[in-house]
Amino acid sequence: MKVSIALPLAAATLMLTACANVKDISNTDPVFYGSTARPAAEYLGCVAAAWKGQGVDFHQTEIKNGGELVVDGTLGVEAVLSATTWRGKTDARLTTRRPSRAVTLSDSANLCL
């Protein structure tokens, strides 16, 4: 294979493997963790409204006993806020791969507890 073909192919392969998904980000250590008596849907609604006000581009997905707010970036998922309710208590967990973005996202998540 010629070098002129091999280099772009290697670069494309590297870019595809660098893309992160929800599971990849969720398996990292949280940058924020908290609990509230609010149901998960109510808590996520509060955070979603705050993030919309800040111009954060995200989508919401349902998970067992709660939901997730997923922030997408150019190379895949940038952050995941998971909230699950169990026995009247909701646990919230924010994980991200961009520490610089964590402060603005976690401030809203904390204020909604």
pLDDT tens-digit series, residues 40-91: 999 999 999 999 999 999 999 999 999 999 999 888 999 999 999 999 999 9
> In the structure, what pLDDT confidence band is assigned to residue 104 with cuts at 50, 70 and 90?
very high
In a domain, 53, yes or no: yes
Name the domain count of the chain. 1
In a domain, 62, yes or no: yes
Tell me the two tokens of residue 33: 């963790």
In a domain, 99, yes or no: yes
In a domain, 70, yes or no: yes
In a domain, 22, yes or no: no
Domain of 99 in residue numbering reads as: 31-112
In a domain, 72, yes or no: yes
Give the CATH number of the domain where residue 80 resides. Answer: 3.30.310.80
Q: Flag whether the pTM goes above 0.85.
A: no
Report the helix count and the strand count for the chain, using DSSP H and E.
4, 5
Tell me the two tokens of residue 77: 């998922």
